[in-house]
A and B are shown apart, each in its own frame.
Chain A
């Protein structure tokens, strides 16, 4: 068979396979296949070749589909991981913020050690203290004792008494004011605490130093109590 004949034979097979061969041509084709063994074998070979191609293309479609499905799943997984991390980041931040707020709300405001005050205030020669000054010191430390016992209303009284004396050293006066502010706060008088705090916070030359964290706690707790009221 010449190459051209082979090509024609293949095309005839394709027309027959796809149903495009009809009528007398189809009858003649089928008859020849039945009668001519070689043509029959050729038809069988063509059919097998066609089936191989057909299967290849179907398999290719399945492989392409699988690849797309796996890629999509991979993208989804990565997207989910990114979302997870984002969510964790957000929740983590919220949790940290909540912890900070809880700390600021409930952690007690720490004032400089009273023992130190004793050294400063008591270091003055007690023989040279006036009765008024002696009473002021007494109220101060009594106030501190009441604070330590949780008796803030009594502590308020003590520190208010202290601040009535005019002849107080600046350090001592400021210390008393801070203790009073804290006692106001603890005895649920946030507005008084707020007024006093505002004055103390605005001081230009502060003798009794309170660090920023405790100031922040004070400010937050005053604001919180005012809201709650």
Chain B
């Protein structure tokens, strides 16, 4: 079992991501689900919400926006993310009237620090931008940088000719990615 600080450090360094994910999921998914149910989120959407909360947490941690002051602060932070995501993304047609009625006589609360933290930045863009690369580029870059496969192995597994051909292709994919980033 990792402390909140340890989990944050591991997510930042990209080590033991699976173990940290399992611990976060085991510790907090029930409370997120409960929160979602109370807010009337459909059961089919709750799994997606749990995933999005975890991913949002990961992004914020890696962007340096969250520092755990205590074990409880992590729980509260996740709860805040869940609340924001619920308001922003999970607005079903059949709940629109209810929501409008609920807020008719009240002012929406000012944005919290977490609200401001949720604005898009390059970390959040990473997922969407990388997925815009062609499939072959995604495969090559994933095989080389994530799976640390040698060029020859990549060429064989993905049927891309020779190691040199993969090397050139890899660089072109990097250029394409830079282009998508506007660099």
Q: Tell me if B145 counts as interface (CB < 8 A to partner A).
A: yes
- Is the beta-carbon distance between A52 and B51 smaller than 8 angstroms? no
A62 vs B16: C-alpha distance when bound (angstroms): 10
Question: Which of A64-72, A136-144, A178-186, A220-228 faces chain B?
Answer: A64-72
Q: Tell me if B142 counts as interface (CB < 8 A to partner A).
A: yes
The 0/1 profile, CB within 8 Å of B marked 1, for residues 59-91 of chain A is 111111111011000000000000000000000
Determine which of A45, A52, A58, A66 lies in contact with B14 in the assembled complex, contact meaning CB atoms within 8 Å.
A58
Q: Tell me if B47 counts as interface (CB < 8 A to partner A).
A: yes
Given A56-B127, A58-B62, A65-B22, does the pair A10, B14 have CB atoms closer than 8 Å?
no
CB distance from B147 to the nearest CB of A (A): 9
Band of interface residues on A: 20 to 34
The 0/1 profile, CB within 8 Å of B marked 1, for residues 7-38 of chain A is 10010000000000000000000000000000
- Is the beta-carbon distance between B55 and A59 smaller than 8 angstroms? yes
CB distance from B137 to the nearest CB of A (A): 11
CB distance from B23 to the nearest CB of A (A): 11
Q: A56 contacts which chain B residues (CB < 8 A)?
A: 126-127, 130
Q: Tell me if A57 counts as interface (CB < 8 A to partner B).
A: yes
Q: B125 contacts which chain A residues (CB < 8 A)?
A: 52
CB distance from B8 to the nearest CB of A (A): 13
Given A10-B171, A52-B126, A69-B22, does the pair A57, B181 have CB atoms closer than 8 Å?
no
- Is the beta-carbon distance between A58 and B127 smaller than 8 angstroms? no
Kindly identify, within residues 145 to 183 of chain B, every residue whose CB is under 8 Å from any CB belonging to chain A: 145-146, 168, 171, 174-175, 177-178, 181, 183
- Is the beta-carbon distance between A52 and B145 smaller than 8 angstroms? no
Most buried by B among A49, A61, A66: A66
Determine which of B55, B58, B177 lies in contact with A52 in the assembled complex, contact meaning CB atoms within 8 Å.
B177
- Is the beta-carbon distance between B17 and A48 smaller than 8 angstroms? no
Determine which of B25, B51, B146, B181 lies in contact with A60 in the assembled complex, contact meaning CB atoms within 8 Å.
B146
Q: Which residue of A lies closest to B26 (CB)?
A: A69
List 6 A–B pairs whose Cβ atoms lie within 8 Å, in order of A's numbering. A10-B174, A49-B174, A52-B177, A59-B59, A62-B55, A63-B55
Given contacts A45-B178, A56-B127, A60-B142, 15 further A-B contacts (CB under 8 A): A7-B171, A48-B183, A52-B177, A52-B181, A55-B126, A58-B17, A59-B55, A61-B17, A62-B18, A62-B58, A65-B22, A65-B25, A66-B21, A66-B51, A67-B51
